Amino acid sequence: MRVAVYYSNKDIRIEERPVPKIGDGEMLIKVMASGVCGSDVMEWYRLHKVPLILGHEVGGEIVEVGTGVTKYKKGDRVCAAHHVPCNTCYYCLSGHHTVCDTLRKTNFDPGGFAEYLRLPAINVDRGVFLLPDEVSFEEATFIEPLACILHGQKQARLSPGQSVLVIGSGISGLLHIQLAKALGAGNIIAVDINDHRIKAAKRFGADAAINAKEYAPERLRQLNNGRLADLVILCTGNTTAINQGLKSVERCGTALFFAPTDPNVTIPFSINDIFWRNEVTLTTSYAGSPADHETAMELIHAKRVNVKDMITHRFGLAEIVKGFQHVAEAKESIKVIIEPQK
């Protein structure tokens, strides 16, 4: 089978590998669509691990099931989670599945940027989701990222009617906007440096969208009835944006650090000036649980979150470098889909 082997964002080689053999409780999936995630192009996070076969946002068709697999059969249309929890450790039993050690060790074999992938038994047991007929393979690639968004907003305890400021309107920011709207948020304001993404933010549900060059907390107050934001969601690791975001949280509000920074970045800030007496909460999130995947799939199925119109580019496996460049450059792309069978 063909696989795309990652060495850098500009060096991804199409190679031939044997189709994985499956064992008891395992599954072989023919990958029909695989999304390029922003984390896929973070070279600082990848380069020390290369060569890699990436791809964790997948939709595909089961072509073989191992002995003991009874819930699924050949021909089923599915999406799958690459990371799954043990469900028995301290963290899982406390409801914190996404910090489980097992979740951080589990993965696909080899990855979604391949014609076929093997799902280990633990992934089959708790990380496979049957797609409704109305959900396409392309739409299925959004289930994993939307699960991460859902987990983030749970961490931030978004409540209906709260105002939301989303800083960074790439794919994660746009999904945050759509989900916040679906969950009943009040005023939603987006910020980005890219005019194309500012327009996209408004198209996907933001009540207002501002160029980052023109943004200041005073501007937020003008758009939000004199108040700062109840929830600030930071979908960029840019330090200037982070500092602006921290100054944009209303009293008793929350700042969600959804995107990582570059390595070794620290953010110094004044406890007194920003937080003292204001009872502001800082929180982060990582990944999504199997339950988050289930909910994300239902939100997509019910059209509460419009993912189809977020797809801007499609490439066959042989053109995957173009896909990575579009995501890395972040100019006029929103979601890039790789189709390994083409």
C-alpha 226/C-alpha 224 separation (Å) is: 6
pLDDT for the residue numbered 340:
98
Whether the pLDDT of residue 194 is over 90: the answer is yes
C-alpha 208/C-alpha 270 separation (Å) is: 29
Whether the pLDDT of residue 269 is over 90: the answer is no
C-alpha 225/C-alpha 108 separation (Å) is: 48
Task: List pLDDT tens digits, range 37-46.
Answer: 999 999 999 9
Could you check whether the bond before residue 51 is cis, i.e. omega within 30 degrees of 0?
A: yes
Please state whether the predicted TM-score (pTM) of the whole model is above 0.85. Answer: yes
**Range of lowest pLDDT (155-164, 250-259, 270-279):** 270-279
**Which alpha helices (DSSP H) does the chain contain, by range?**
43-46, 90-93, 101-105, 121-126, 137-140, 143-155, 171-182, 195-203, 217-223, 239-246, 290-301, 320-329
pLDDT for the residue numbered 339:
98
- What value does the mean pLDDT of the chain take? 97
Task: List pLDDT tens digits, range 270-301.
Answer: 899 888 899 999 999 999 999 999 999 999 99
pLDDT for the residue numbered 273:
84
Q: What residues have CB less than 8 Å from 47, skipping those under 6 apart?
A: 8
pLDDT for the residue numbered 331:
87
∠ Cα 206 212 218 (to 5°): 80
The answer to whether the beta carbons of residues 283 and 95 sit under 8 Å apart is no
**Range of lowest pLDDT (168-177, 193-202, 273-282, 289-298):** 273-282
HSE value, Cβ hemisphere, 13 Å, CA-based, for 273: 7
**How many helices and strands in the chain, by DSSP H and E?**
12, 15
120-154: b (≥16 Cβ within 10 Å) or e: bbbbbbbbbbebeeebbbbbbbbbbbbbbbbbbbe
pLDDT for the residue numbered 1:
98
The answer to whether the beta carbons of residues 114 and 15 sit under 8 Å apart is no
